Amino acid sequence: MKITYCLLAVSFVLFSCGRGSDDAATEYGIIPMPNEVAPMQGMYILQGEKTVAVPSGEAAMKVFHYLEDALKNTSVTLKSIPETGQADICLSIDSSLPDEAYTLEVSSDKINISSNETAAGLFYGVQSLLQLMPAAIYDGNRKYEEEIRIPAAGITDAPRFPHRGAMMDVGRNFLPKEEVLKFLDLMAFYKLNKFHFHLTDDQGWRIEIKKYPKLTEIGSYRKRTQIGHSDYYFPRRYDGKEKRGYYTQEEIKEIVKYASDRFITVIPEIEMPGHVSAALASYPELSCGLGKTYVVRDYFDVFDEVYCPKEHTFEFLEDVLTEVMELFPSRYIHIGGDECPKKAWKKCAHCQSLMKRKGLPDEEALQSWFIHRIEQFVNSKGRDIIGWDEILEGGLAPNATVMSWRGEKGGIEAARQKHKVIMTPGKKCYFDYYQESPEFAPLAIGGFLPLDTVYNYNPLPAELTPEEQAYIIGVQANIWGEYIQTPEYFEYMAFPRLLAMSEVQWTEPEHKDFDSFVRRLDKEFKRLDYCGVNACRNFYEVNLAGAWNDSRQTYEVTLKTFCPDAEIHYAVNDSTVTASSSLYKNPIPLNEDATIYSAVYKDGKPLGKVTRKSFAVNKATGCDYTCHPEAGWEHLNKGFGLTDGRCGYARDMRRWISFYQDSVQIVVELKKPQKVREVAFSSLWRPVNAIWPARELSVSVSTDGKTFVPVGTKQLTYDFTLTEGTRFPASLSFAETEAVFVRLELLSGGLCPKGYYHEGQQSELAMDEIEIY
């Protein structure tokens, strides 16, 4: 199958009209970009009653009914006739086309869509056809009475990957069936074909299992949910609101059929052997029985609760999987396998005895044995398993497909072992990451994954040979639900990034172009709006970034927007931005602390909200520095994150530089000899993470980098009666003196104090921007 896809891709290159063809295709507005578009003259006018020739068979008739339903809000009515008849719209079979490939021909007098017998290509051809129509046909507030003008075109198309997935996590926060169906509709719009349904986790069991009713009676309910990040408040805060919900087997059947009617396969995930607190709360006998009380978890973390590999546990899991496989016809069953702590297994006499009997050297091998056994059962039912890349540990199950989430390393290893791989690395595919500035965005798990980063991802690692790359069957977006409690917020996190992902999944790299994509997306927002999708609007806002320009010896702020053909207006230290404010043309130079406010305008009208960002510009900005010991981690701007003009903030860890020792020395080399009188920085307090602020600051200066003269020491104290993670600023003033080198000597927070998390453990020191005045 992969060879067929590759051959078809080659034919597209050979017969494509080149860059000009892609430019013309941009005007058609289809997402994902088709792999070959031949622009044509003329229009097809769709109005009144039209006949549709439909091939025999249930699959083709599904396509007809889908198109009929899509046009229900217009004045068009469709009548199906046999494929052999003369028709206005012809759905036809071409056996030479690969699975999911299609051709679409629109002329002034006819529309023809062809695919092979599976009819999936017919469905994708219909999606492209619908995108050629006005977005207003989806306006639920009024009937579209006008004639539908469809531009003439010839399209020959097929997907780059056979697995084009998106994952919805309802284990953490249940979402209603209606939102699941709506998401399936939206997946279908953009030719995604695999819906990964994450149904169980520590915070909830969301699928009815007839043989084990307690899974939903107990496991689908919790009394409350944490507020904010699990590591932000001390002690944790809770909302006091009950959270419950699961899908009955009848609802699951409805979801599966709804997806099938849109040529989407639903892949269920039943987590094991970890992430099972909700299951153990329902049936504690499945645990290692170490005297714990098991509850459905009301906060988010990786917990020690795991299934105990006893015979009655496997009997339970086989019973559950049997009911699951009766509901889901998917070839794949996802069994999780990630983030499984081994603490319980290390203490469990049964587990240790089992390891001896089976000759297993460690608990990683025990997990591998566990996964192998489950795989054998799933294989016996004619199905295959997918697991997260941890299933590689201890030896990969023979027929398993690996979903690589901890970067691409696991996927690369699995491909080299000739196992199928689905790429879904967190930094490229996790849509629970922020997509706009975390300072002002709704709460997310962390990280930063903007639209262009998603779009530019290539799931085929260059270090693999072409033969090894062939084992990568696809790529998937994952929308984890820890902080997503409503359908509206789910849609905000998924869109428009899912459209960028669809082009990663479908379009060959030589036909991808981000400038083209944003022009098409600008139009597609209208359809999202008509469909009631709460998409993130950062597309119509300004993203601000600052950096030291060494050649100009100044700090410069750049402004950009994804929105094409728009103007950016800005103001410095003034929150009022209008069309009369300064027009952004070149980077904005700063020589002191400032806040930039900005907004996007088109035709004199604002498109989005005013965005702002503050920059700390002082004598340290843009300077080199050395750390002793070296930083334990730097998430952003490694090597100059302490002098890049950007301060950190408590809710997001990306801008902080961390040290794990009790004493830290940082030497900043100024750009020239100059007078200095104050040093400032901030450190972070997040006791759940063992992060405590610095307790002492000493400063010394030097003109040669060898001999340092002390200028001051200060004991630092803080208000620890606060209950939330806090950015604590600190500064030290001294008599003005000349320096080229400024040395900060810091003592960390010491040992985590009594009464807090990690009592007696060496604390971590996380600090941000160094400012020198």
Note the pLDDT tens digit of each residue in 92-115: 999 999 999 999 999 999 999 999
User: Looking at the predicted structure, is the pLDDT value of residue 342 above 70?
Assistant: yes
Tell me, what's the pLDDT at 650?
80
- 705 — alpha (psi -120 to 50), left (phi > 0) or beta? left
Tell me, what's the pLDDT at 497?
98
Tell me, what's the pLDDT at 21?
56
Give the tokens for residue 291.
């005297």
HEC string for 105-138: EECCCCEEEEECCCCHHHHHHHHHHHHCCCHHHH
Least confident of 71-80, 153-162, 638-647, 735-744: 638-647
Three-state SS for 367? helix
Kindly report, residue by residue over 448-492, the tens digit of the pLDDT. 999 999 999 999 999 999 999 999 999 999 999 999 999 999 999
Tell me, what's the pLDDT at 5?
40
Rg (CA), the chain: 29
User: Are 186 and 130 spatial neighbours (Cβ–Cβ below 8 Å)?
Assistant: no
Across the chain, mean pLDDT equals: 94
233 pLDDT tier (thresholds 50, 70, 90): confident
Kindly report, residue by residue over 651-671, the tens digit of the pLDDT. 777 789 999 999 999 999 999
Kindly report, residue by residue over 3-49, the tens digit of the pLDDT. 334 434 333 333 344 445 567 778 899 999 999 999 999 999 999 99
Tell me the C-alpha distance between 185 and 183, whole Å.
5
Give the tokens for residue 96.
């030479």
- Give buried/exposed letters for 710-721 (b at 16+ CB in 10 A, else e): ebeebebebeee
Tell me, what's the pLDDT at 114?
98
More confident: 726 or 346: 346
1 pLDDT tier (thresholds 50, 70, 90): very low
245 pLDDT tier (thresholds 50, 70, 90): very high
Cβ-based neighbours of 412, under 8 Å, separated by 6 or more: 404, 461, 463, 464
768 forms beta bridges with: none
User: Beta 771-772 vs 89-93: how paired, if at all?
Assistant: unpaired
Please tell me what DSSP assigns to residue 631.
Answer: P
Catalytic residues: 339
Tell me the C-alpha distance between 10 and 36, whole Å.
11
HEC string for 564-618: CCCEEEEEECCCCCCCCCEECCCCEEECCCEEEEEEEEECCEECCCCEEEEECCC
Query: Which runs of E-coded beta strand occur in 139-182?
Result: 148-157, 163-169
Tell me the C-alpha distance between 737 and 528, whole Å.
60
Q: How far is CA 78 from the centre of its chain?
A: 39
Please tell me what DSSP assigns to residue 284.
Answer: G
Tell me, what's the pLDDT at 14?
35
- 717 — alpha (psi -120 to 50), left (phi > 0) or beta? beta
User: Are 221 and 242 spatial neighbours (Cβ–Cβ below 8 Å)?
Assistant: yes
Q: What domains can be seen in the chain, in order of their start residue?
A: 2-157 (3.30.379.10), 163-506 (3.20.20.80), 538-615 (2.60.40), 624-772 (2.60.120.260)
405 pLDDT tier (thresholds 50, 70, 90): very high
pTM: 0.94
User: Are 334 and 271 spatial neighbours (Cβ–Cβ below 8 Å)?
Assistant: no
Kindly report, residue by residue over 133-147, the tens digit of the pLDDT. 999 999 999 999 999
Cα separations in angstroms, 538 against 438, 480, 525, 528, 581: 12, 20, 12, 14, 20
Tell me, what's the pLDDT at 6?
42
User: Are 730 and 680 spatial neighbours (Cβ–Cβ below 8 Å)?
Assistant: yes
User: Looking at the predicted structure, is the pLDDT value of residue 398 above 50?
Assistant: yes
User: Looking at the predicted structure, is the pLDDT value of residue 637 above 90?
Assistant: no
212 φ, ψ (degrees, to nearest 5): -130, 75
378 φ, ψ (degrees, to nearest 5): -65, -45
pLDDT above 70 covers what percent of the chain?
Answer: 97
Q: What is the separation, in whole angstroms, between the first and last Cα of the chain? A: 64
Mean pLDDT of 548-572: 96
Mean pLDDT of 605-628: 96
Cβ-based neighbours of 518, under 8 Å, separated by 6 or more: 539, 562, 563, 564
Tell me, what's the pLDDT at 640?
86
Three-state SS for 233? strand
Q: How far is CA 684 from the centre of its chain?
A: 26
More confident: 506 or 723: 506
